[in-house]
A = this chain, B = another copy of it.
């Protein structure tokens, strides 16, 4: 079976996010004065073959933990959909 996975990788709470803070500082000059707490993470999409949605889910989670993210500084959430 064929699945599409969407992985949202975000900086863990309490971890500094310089990119987000820099964007936040830039926004008022562009006229966006009511924006705050900007955090930038990653969005990874991929396709995967597996026997079932559960297998696909755990495969992608494993990939996340071992390879795509470092759990020490990032949180990841995985969403798998059959196509």
Q: Which residues of A contact B (CB under 8 A)?
A: 8-10, 20, 23-24, 26-27, 30, 32, 34-50, 59, 63, 66-68
**What's the minimum C-beta distance from A19 to chain B, rounded to whole angstroms?**
9
Q: How many copies does the complex hold?
A: 2
Q: Which 9 pairs from chain A and chain B are nearest by CB? A: A34-B49, A43-B43, A41-B43, A38-B46, A37-B47, A39-B45, A35-B48, A40-B44, A36-B47
Name the contact of A63 in the complex, choosing from B35, B46, B63 (C-beta under 8 A): B35
Are A63 and B8 touching (Cβ within 8 A)? no
Contact A63 to B10, CB < 8 A, known contacts A44-B39, A45-B38, A46-B38 = no
How many angstroms between the C-alpha atoms of A35 and B75 in the bound complex?
Answer: 21
